[in-house]
Amino acid sequence: MVADGVRLLDVRRADEVAAGVIPGAQWIPVDELPERVGELTRDQAPMLIYCAAGMRSAAACEYLTEQGFDGLWNLAGGFSSWSGPKGKLTS
């Protein structure tokens, strides 16, 4: 989790996730999002969505907005730009 109350959603492919993940992120590949949207809650907590570079996460934000989600943020620059708590990653 980036900060209290902020959710992370990783929409990268499996081969990209194998390189590392941001701790606490939920992983749903963007291609599976329509089938798995029920795994996400529509609470009021902000959700930071990321992919490798920002294009797929932008599409995910658009799709989730259409599905009634609020408080969505796209991580500009994607996973490679992550500079959260000390740029922490796990494998």
Please tell me what DSSP assigns to residue 80. Answer: G
One-character DSSP codes across 12-79: --HHHHTT-B-TT-EE--GGGHHHHGGGS---SS-EEEE-SSSHHHHHHHHHHHHTT--SEEE-TT-G
* Residue found by looking up tokens 């109350």 in the block: 5
Q: Which residues are the active-site residues?
A: 51
